[in-house]
Amino acid sequence: MQTIAYTLPEYKIVRSLKGVGDKLAPRLIAEIGDVRKLTSAKALNAYAGNYTPPYKSGQIEGNRRHISKRGSASLRKVGYEVMMALKITKPTEDKMLFMNL
């Protein structure tokens, strides 16, 4: 799988993301598939099922919700592994991202 991923044009882009190494890059490419179908980061989150659907019932409007989990469970797992790799390495370029990890 890694040898095939090396030949793909997306490999260099995905590999340049922080937290994505030689093992996670092919998995991320395989799970996302054709990136042209996703128009934004918000669309990628929705595809993975990492978004919180709105909750309205009568006059109650909830804002503390769980993720929907309607998307790709495998993509969520790869995303979790990327975040864990970032948490371990803690790059210093973006301190705001890591203040709450």
- For CA atoms 41, 49, 8, 20, the dihedral sign is positive
- Domain locations in the chain as residue ranges: 2-89
Position 35 confidence tier, pLDDT thresholds 50, 70, 90 = confident
pLDDT band at 96 (very low <50, low <70, confident <90, very high): low
Name 61's Cβ contacts closer than 8 Å, sequence gap at least 6. Answer: 54, 55
Q: What is the mean pLDDT of the chain?
A: 78
Per-residue pLDDT band for 61 (boundaries 50, 70, 90) equals low
